[in-house]
Amino acid sequence: MGHIEATRDLSAAPEELWAIISDPQTWDKWFTVHDRWLDQPPATLTPGARLTAKIVMLNMANKIEWTVKAVDAPTALALGGTGMAGVKADFTFTIQPSGAGSTFTVSGDFEGALVKGALAKAVEKDGLRQLDKTLSQLDELASAAV
């Protein structure tokens, strides 16, 4: 199993960040593991909603079937997904007010027959690199929307 997590203070207010992360049409602009939607995602994310995407980690593509596990606007979004070869992923995004901006945390867990030992460590290393870029892109996107 692999685990990744990153927290950063962002300049955007919680509502501005929520408007972006809760809109699947923006994910290719900030969520770096997300490549594209394979099916049209729902316009509104609600618990139980399903989304089918192509994700990329370690320069390898995987089709993942996401299910929205929880929505608590404007503070939290949780997704669980299953990909090819039995790979499972869970991502949680949390937003907390912090001064004029927000503290944003994203965490992810990966498991499956292929995510063990050295490969799990490689997934974690790549995932942490991607989370850093994700947070930078999210901050830029939210700041541009203001």
Query: What pLDDT band is residue 2 in, cutting at 50, 70 and 90?
Result: confident
Containing structural domain, residue 72: 2-145
Residue-wise pLDDT for 43-71, tens only, equals 999 999 999 999 988 888 889 999 999 99
Give pLDDT, residue 104.
97
Residue-wise pLDDT for 74-106, tens only, equals 999 999 999 988 889 999 999 999 999 999 999
**CATH number of residue 73's parent domain:** 3.30.530.20
Give pLDDT, residue 115.
67
Residue 114: is its pLDDT beyond 70?
no
Residue 8: is its pLDDT beyond 90?
yes
C-alpha–C-alpha distance, residues 7 and 49, integer Å: 26
As for how many domains the chain has, the answer is: 1
Angle at which helix 14-21 crosses helix 117-145, to 10 degrees, equals: 120
Q: pLDDT: is 23 or 124 the higher one?
A: 23
Strands 76-83 and 60-72: antiparallel
